[in-house]
Amino acid sequence: YSVKCPLFVGMIEKGWEDTLENDELIKSYLNEFSVEIDTLILGCTHYPLIRKYIARHFNGNIIDPAEETAKSLKKIIGEGKYLQKPYLKFYASGDPEKFKKVAQEFLGQEICEVEKIIL
């Protein structure tokens, strides 16, 4: 089962705030499921940024595909054998400083550089 959440991305990119309006938006999207579900897969790279807010209204398992992919990759390449602290450079079409702030909070580590690109 899937539910489209078109308003999430823009709100996340602007800097998601913990507001009653956003809380109601999450609830409204979760209420669109026509059946009871026990596992929710976050189907967009933006959605893990609001996982803790989604979890307020969803008691089942919440899966972040990127996190699961990273765990699998870590198993493949070993526990730190080939891992070094990365130099993280990102390219963003929006405000580089805003992106850097959100990305650092989400990743839990320093972003070295964000370069603005023009689309």
- 76 falls within a domain: no
What are the tens digits of pLDDT across the range 16-41?
889 999 999 999 999 999 889 999 99
What is the residue-averaged pLDDT of the chain?
A: 88
> The domain containing residue 11 runs over which residues?
6-66
The three-class DSSP label of residue 40 is strand
**Domain CATH number, residue 27:** 3.40.50.1860
Shared domain for 49 and 96, answered yes or no, is: no
Q: Are 42 and 62 in contact (CB under 8 A)?
A: yes
Count of domains observed in the chain: 2
Shared domain for 40 and 91, answered yes or no, is: no
Shared domain for 62 and 89, answered yes or no, is: no
- 119 falls within a domain: no
pLDDT at 82: 63
What are the tens digits of pLDDT across the range 54-76?
999 999 999 998 888 888 887 87
